[in-house]
Amino acid sequence: MQIDILTLFPEIALAPLGESIIKRAREAGIATVRAHNLRDWAKDKHRRTDDYLCGGGQGMLLMPGPLFDAIEALKGPETKVILMTPQGRVFKQAMARELSREAHLLIVCGHYEGVDQRVIDELIDLELSIGDYVLTNGAIAAAVVTDAIVRLLPGALGDARSPEDESFSDPNLLEAPAYTKPADFRGLKVPEVLMTGHHARIAEWKQRMALERTRANRPDLLG
Ligand code: ADE
């Protein structure tokens, strides 16, 4: 899979993707991830990419010229073009799974007050938000989305089973609490059932605890 990120801050987008699991997946050729500086498509000598809002209002907007040129240069016939914006659909694990089946993603990062609507109308296939808060720029959100997608690609995680067991694989339940050794740490004990080796009872305990945790932390998931 190929992911291209178009942003004014390529270093911000790439920094979290240059370590650990995603770094190894990239080195293994499981995913090709590149970041491109929108300023390279600016037209004037000051390399401007933003301008004031038509009709007035606070802040600046990314203007259509550089974005049209950059997106047209970077997209191919199979590309899904995504815009990171707090106005988008909220990114969830199911969407990560769906997008992990695409051949090529071009992730466009908003900045300032966002992008000119004509870019969205003409060139964007999907507007995505990573949550109900406002970041300083979409490069952070693009890194989040890229991480969530690349780790799902076959071979990215060492243990091929691990994406199935985790929170949000069952869309309605969080993961159960987890423990490692020692069994007694400062008098704090690992729940006994986990030390029994009794798989059925352990599975039943995990299910119950997952439900309890979901009720406490994310009652919205239970509907
Ligand atoms: N840009 C700024 N805030 C954002 C968010 N919450 N999701 C996606 N892109 C953003």
**How confident is the model over 183-223, as pLDDT tens digits?**
999 999 999 999 999 999 999 999 999 999 999 999 999 98
Q: Which residue of 61, 135, 137, 146 sits with most ligand 1 atoms within 8 Å of its CB, as the best mutation to test the pocket?
A: 135
* CATH code at 2-150: 3.40.1280.10
- Residue 135, ligand 1, Cβ within 6 A: yes
What's residue 164's pLDDT?
Answer: 64
Nearest CA to ligand 1 atom 7: 129
Instruction: Determine the pLDDT at residue 187.
Output: 98
Taking alpha carbons only, the member of 188, 193, 189 closest to residue 208 is 193
Which residues are CB-contacts of 126 (< 8 A; sequence separation ≥ 6)? 80, 81, 82, 83, 88, 89
The pLDDT tens digits of the residues spanning 107-157 come to: 999 987 899 999 999 999 999 999 999 999 999 999 999 999 999 999 999
- Kindly give, in sequence order, each residue whose CB lies less than 8 Å from that of residue 5, ignoring residues fewer than 6 positions away: 13, 14, 33, 34, 35, 36, 106, 107, 109, 139, 142, 143, 146
pLDDT value, residue 168: 72
**Is 165-222 in the same CATH topology as 2-150?**
no
In this structure, the residue with its CA closest to atom 2 of ligand 1 is: 135
Give the pLDDT confidence score for residue 193 in this predicted structure.
98
Taking Cα atoms as reference points, which of 180, 172, 184 lies closest to residue 214?
172
pLDDT digits (tens, 9 = 90+) for 57-77: 999 999 999 999 999 999 999
pLDDT in tens, 2-52: 999 999 999 999 999 999 999 999 999 999 999 999 999 999 999 999 999
Binning pLDDT at 50, 70 and 90, where does residue 166 land?
confident
Q: Which of the four pLDDT bands, split at 50, 70 and 90, describes residue 169? A: low
The CB of 133 under 6 Å from ligand 1? The reply is yes
Q: State the pLDDT confidence band at 171, using cuts at 50, 70 and 90.
A: low
- In the beta sheet, which residues pair with residue 188? 185
Q: Give yes or no for residue 42 CB within 6 A of ligand 1.
A: no
pLDDT digits (tens, 9 = 90+) for 64-116: 999 999 999 999 999 999 999 999 999 999 999 999 999 999 999 998 789 99
CATH level 3 topology of 165-222: Trp Operon Repressor; Chain A (1.10.1270)
Domain edges within the chain:
2-150, 165-222
Give me the pLDDT at residue 121, please.
Answer: 98
